[in-house]
């Protein structure tokens, strides 16, 4: 078996194979720090700049923990923009390809009926913007009972775009027994407050600018 530097995380062969296809040989610093803790189901608050590889840092552990047989979503990723939702869906699909993991992107401006159908079939990971996610929750088209992992990506942009109240509203609907990972390039007080309110003694990971 070919080993890569991701081999030290005790990832399944399916995930390691997918990382080789993606040409991810060496974990970035944020991946190095996040993956082992996320695999242990620790709550995390992570500060790391854009381009540091945050998506795979959470997508790898999420793909590891997905039970393919379960049709309802097991992870929910909140993103501030539709572009990011689509990108994260693609990244999750690529990392989870050999486990045949299904991800759905749900966001304003995208046909609701198509999303509804996708969510009704098999969706392991739902990725979406807060407004549309809340729409699906209200209409009962996004089942939350099996969600065991929540990711809040680009939390500072969520705040800038006025989405934090919606994020809080969504969190209230989620099962309490879950892991929550929060990622942000900057840590304004409002984001620290969100973490204090919604996370269980999270591990703090701070990747410095100059690294």
89 burial class (0-12, 13-18, 19+ CB within 10 angstroms)? buried
Cβ-based nearer residue to Mg ion, 46 or 137: 46
Record the tokens describing residue 168, joined without a space.
């809080």
Residue-wise DSSP of 121-145: S--SEEEE-HHHHHHHHHHT-S--T
Instruction: Please state the closest distance from residue 120 (CB atom) to Mg ion, in A.
Output: 28
Cβ-based nearer residue to Mg ion, 22 or 114: 22
- Does residue number 53 form part of the binding site for ligand ADP (CB under 6 A)? yes
Q: Binding residues for ligand ADP, how many (CB under 6 A)? A: 13
Cβ-based nearer residue to Mg ion, 54 or 132: 54
Which residues between 127 and 186 bind Mg ion (CB under 5 A)?
none
Residue from 51, 109, 111, 140 touching ligand ADP (CB under 6 A): that is 51
106 and 133 Cβ atoms separated by less than 8 Å = yes
How far apart (Å, rounded) are the C-alpha atoms in residues 126 and 22? Answer: 22
How far apart (Å, rounded) are the C-alpha atoms in residues 202 and 40? Answer: 12
∠ CA 7-105-192 to the nearest 5 degrees?
70
Q: In 142-188, which residue ranges form alpha helices assigned H by DSSP?
A: 155-160, 164-173
Which residues between 26 and 55 bind Mg ion (CB under 5 A)?
54
Cβ-based nearer residue to ligand ADP, 28 or 129: 28
Cβ-based nearer residue to Mg ion, 15 or 48: 48
Instruction: Please state the closest distance from residue 26 (CB atom) to ligand ADP, in A.
Output: 6
Hunting for tokens 């699909």 — which residue is that?
93
- Does residue number 54 form part of the binding site for ligand ADP (CB under 6 A)? yes
Residues of this chain that bind ligand ADP (CB under 6 A):
24, 26-28, 31, 48, 50-56
Residues of this chain that bind Mg ion (CB under 5 A):
54
């Amino acid at each position: 078996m070919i080993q890569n530097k991701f081999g030290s995380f005790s990832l399944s062969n399916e995930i390691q194979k997918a990382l080789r296809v993606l040409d991810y040989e060496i974990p970035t610093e944020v991946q190095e720090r996040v993956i082992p803790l996320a695999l242990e189901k620790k709550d995390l608050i992570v500060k790391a700049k854009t381009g540091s590889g945050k998506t795979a840092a959470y997508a790898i552990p999420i793909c590891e923990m997905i039970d393919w047989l379960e049709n309802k979503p097991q992870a929910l990723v909140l993103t501030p923009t539709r572009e990011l939702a689509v990108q994260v869906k693609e990244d999750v699909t690529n990392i989870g390809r050999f486990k045949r993991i299904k991800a759905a992107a749900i966001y304003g401006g995208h046909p609701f009926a198509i999303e509804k159908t996708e969510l009704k079939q098999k969706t392991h990971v739902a990725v979406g913007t807060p407004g549309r996610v809340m729409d699906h929750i209200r209409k009962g088209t996004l089942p939350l009972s099996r969600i065991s992992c929540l990711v809040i990506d680009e939390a500072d942009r969520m705040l800038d775009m006025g989405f934090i109240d919606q994020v809080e509203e969504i969190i209230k609907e989620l099962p309490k027994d879950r892991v929550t990972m929060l990622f942000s390039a900057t840590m304004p007080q409002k984001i620290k407050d969100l973490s204090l309110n919604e996370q269980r003694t999270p591990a703090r990971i701070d990747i410095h600018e100059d690294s």
